[in-house]
Structure 1
Amino acid sequence: MKLLKTIPNLVLTLLVSGTSLFAQSGKVEYSEFNLNNGLHVILHQDNSTPIVTVAVMYKVGSKNEQPNRTGFAHFFEHLMFEGTENIPRGEYAKFVERAGGTLNANTSADRTYFYEILPSNQLELGLWLESERMFHAKVDSLGIQTQKKVVIEEKKQSYDNRPYGSILIETMKRAFREHPYRWTTIGDPDHIRAAKDEEFQTFYNTFYVPNNAVLVIAGDINPEKTKNLIEKYFKDIPAGQNEIYRPHIVEPPLNGEVRDTIYDNIQVPLVLQAYRTPAMNTPDYYALDMLGTLLSGGQSSRLYKELVDNQQLAISVGSFPLPYNEPSVNLTYAFTNMGVDPKQLEEAINDEIKKVQEKLIPEKEFQKLQNQFENQIIGGNEKIAERAHNLATYYTYFGDASLINKEIEKYMAVTREDIQRVARQYFTPDSRVVLYYMPKQD
Structure 2
Amino acid sequence: MKNYLLILASLVLVGFSAKAQQVEFEEFDLDNGLHVILHQDNTAPVVTVGVMYNVGGKDLGGTADAPRTGFAHFFEHLLFEGTKNIDRGEWFTIVSSNGGSNNANTSLDRTYYYEVFPSNNLELGLWMESERMMHPVIDQVGVDTQNEVVKEEKRLRYDNSPYGQFLAAVSENLFTKHPYKNKNIGEMADLDASTLEEFQQYLKDWYGPNNAALVVAGDIDSKEAKKLVEKYFSEIKSRPIPTRNFAKEDPITEKIDAKFYDPNIQIPAIITAYRTPGFKERDAYVLSMVSAYLSDGKTSKLYKTIVDDKKMALQVGAINIDQMDYSIYAIYGLPLGDTTLDALLTEMDSEIAKMQTELISENDYQKLQNKFENRFVNSNSSIQGIANSLVRNYMLYDDINLINSEIEIYRSITRQEIQDVVKKYLNPNQRVELEYLPKEKTAN
Flag whether TM exceeds 0.5 (same fold). yes
- Contact 2:206/2:241 (CA < 8 Å) preserved in 1? no
Taking the TM superposition and a 5 Å limit, the aligned residue runs for 1:56-135 are 56-65=51-60, 68-135=67-134
**Counterpart in the other structure of 1:292:** 291
Query: Which secondary structure state, in structure 1, belongs to the residue aligned with residue 153 of structure 2?
Result: helix
**Counterpart in the other structure of 1:245:** 243
- Contact 1:43/1:223 (CA < 8 Å) preserved in 2? yes
Q: Report the CA distance between 1:244 and its aligned residue.
A: 2.1
Q: Report the CA distance between 1:128 and its aligned residue.
A: 0.6
Query: Which secondary structure state, in structure 1, belongs to the residue aligned with residue 272 of structure 2?
Result: strand
Percent pairwise identity: 46
Among 35, 38, 51, the residue aligned to 1:40: 35
**Counterpart in the other structure of 1:354:** 353
Q: Which runs of 5+ in 2 are unaligned?
A: 1-15
**Counterpart in the other structure of 1:254:** 252
| TM-score, scaled to structure 1 | 0.93
Q: Report the CA distance between 1:407 and its aligned residue.
A: 0.8
Q: Which amino acid aligns with 1:353?
A: I
Q: Report the CA distance between 1:246 and its aligned residue.
A: 1.9
Q: Which amino acid aligns with 1:142?
A: V
Q: Relative to structure 2, which stretch is displaced further, 284-293 or 334-343?
A: 334-343
Taking the TM superposition and a 5 Å limit, the aligned residue runs for 1:345-384 are 345-384=344-383
Q: Which amino acid aligns with 2:52?
A: M
Taking the TM superposition and a 5 Å limit, the aligned residue runs for 1:401-416 are 401-416=400-415
Q: Report the CA distance between 1:184 and its aligned residue.
A: 2.2
**Counterpart in the other structure of 1:333:** 332
Q: Which amino acid aligns with 2:32?
A: N
Q: Which amino acid aligns with 2:80?
A: F
Q: Report the CA distance between 1:22 and its aligned residue.
A: 9.1
Q: Does 1:313 pair with 2:338?
A: no
Provide, for residues 219-261 of structure 1, a one-character-per-residue CA deviation record: whole Å limited to 9, x for no partner: 0000000001001110001111x33232343211123211122
> CA separation in 2, counterparts of 1:256 and 1:423?
17
> CA separation in 2, counterparts of 1:199 and 1:441?
39
**Counterpart in the other structure of 1:211:** 210
> CA separation in 1, counterparts of 2:381 and 2:314?
32
Q: Report the CA distance between 1:23 and its aligned residue.
A: 9.3
Q: Relative to structure 2, which stretch is displaced further, 264-273 or 290-299?
A: 264-273
**Counterpart in the other structure of 2:303:** 304
| TM-score, scaled to structure 2 | 0.92
**Counterpart in the other structure of 2:24:** 29
> CA separation in 2, counterparts of 1:26 and 1:317?
33
> CA separation in 1, counterparts of 2:69 and 2:224?
41
Q: Report the CA distance between 1:198 and its aligned residue.
A: 0.5
Q: How well do the aligned residues superpose, as a CA RMSD in angstroms?
A: 1.5
Q: Relative to structure 2, which stretch is displaced further, 86-95 or 308-317?
A: 308-317
> CA separation in 2, counterparts of 1:276 and 1:25?
36
Provide, for residues 299-330 of structure 1, a one-character-per-residue CA deviation record: whole Å limited to 9, x for no partner: 11100110110111112222121111112210
- Contact 2:261/2:438 (CA < 8 Å) preserved in 1? yes
**Counterpart in the other structure of 2:5:** none
Q: Does 1:51 pair with 2:46?
A: yes
- Contact 1:22/1:382 (CA < 8 Å) preserved in 2? no
Q: Relative to structure 2, which stretch is displaced further, 230-239 or 267-276?
A: 267-276
- Contact 1:63/1:247 (CA < 8 Å) preserved in 2? no
Query: Which secondary structure state, in structure 2, belongs to the residue aligned with residue 275 of structure 1?
Result: strand
Q: Which amino acid aligns with 1:228?
A: K
Q: Which amino acid aligns with 2:228?
A: L
Provide, for residues 13-51 of structure 1, a one-character-per-residue CA deviation record: whole Å limited to 9, x for no partner: xxxxxxxx9996321110100000000000011111000
**Counterpart in the other structure of 1:150:** 149
Query: Which secondary structure state, in structure 2, belongs to the residue aligned with residue 401 of structure 1?
Result: coil
Provide, for residues 172-195 of structure 1, a one-character-per-residue CA deviation record: whole Å limited to 9, x for no partner: 011001111111211111111111
